[in-house]
Structure 1
């Protein structure tokens, strides 16, 4: 009488890549970079994307648990969406990269060359020296910087940088005066603010311009 075949050994689950010895993987994070406007343009919403991913996860792994958080950043912060998300949600690798860049930036402060537009500290350095911009001049430059490569007309600048309660609401002509004053303080780097004849003004990135931004962690959840 033949004996029954021995049961096959249970398959060993493959070890998750990049998990050090002595630790175990307990889940994962998927960073999704898309803002509300892009989601609407795609015919969806952030909430619908989250719910679809939750349904797929429940289908593939019914025992899994999920948690979703919204990544917040200053309005108009620019940059790649997924990079902003990783920083806002405190991704260790992204934070380490940011620290490296900040250390490099500190070195640039000590041995500067070119223009540093520091949005987080509301300052501009020209070859290591403060440009001495007024609050409104910095706001004007920041508005253009955060919309890099787009021509901004004078009406948009007035509507977004001057409130109805301000003592003086500029006209299109006085906007030109504000821009001239800003450019004069940028000295030999004044060409970073370009005049687009008949249209408005634009900031274009230059090799000698460094921009520093801040991100804000989000406490919001779906």
Structure 2
């Protein structure tokens, strides 16, 4: 078994473990004249993952450990949960907690924490599992050739990810969406680096294209050099292009 402890606001009364703040006795309470000037507390930094217009209401901590590993460490799952609850109460008495145990078939493989995230329906873990399944399915359907998936911004070469950077994929996509047309270097600069602080020159564009072609390996000739003009995408019979049902944001 594995455990996910999620300190968060919840409506379960049984999950609440209030711990009131300590009260100073009148004999030891500081007098108003002796009190130091109030200093405004520094504001907490905003979480980068929280979009504007929303607020953080808690968090989830996934803990991956089965009963055998816990026993080998001289503890058990219940003691770990209680220790984490106690620590949370000490750090923030107003926090409420809820613990859930993640179950998996005996002998199931994989990292404990990944099993926990999937069992408790963690969105990012589910998305990754879906992506891996689609990659495997693509490899089965297309054991050889190139898949340029614009909707998911990925390129598969003979079923394996090409490992393009964001800018390399944007460069390839720019050419793919203008299939058969020779794109001059200045048009690539205007289309892909408009508004950037560091705008490359035409020689730098050649470097970007060389890096892109090297990652395309033995399929690199789908990006052709038109001497003295620019670059062009040429589709081969073993090239598959996939687009989302909605228009690409790369407007042309």
Instruction: Give the alignment's TM-score, normalised by structure 2.
Output: 0.43
Larger Rg: 2
Q: Greater strand percent: which structure?
A: 2
Question: Higher relative contact order by CA 8 Å / sep ≥ 6: 1 or 2?
Answer: 1
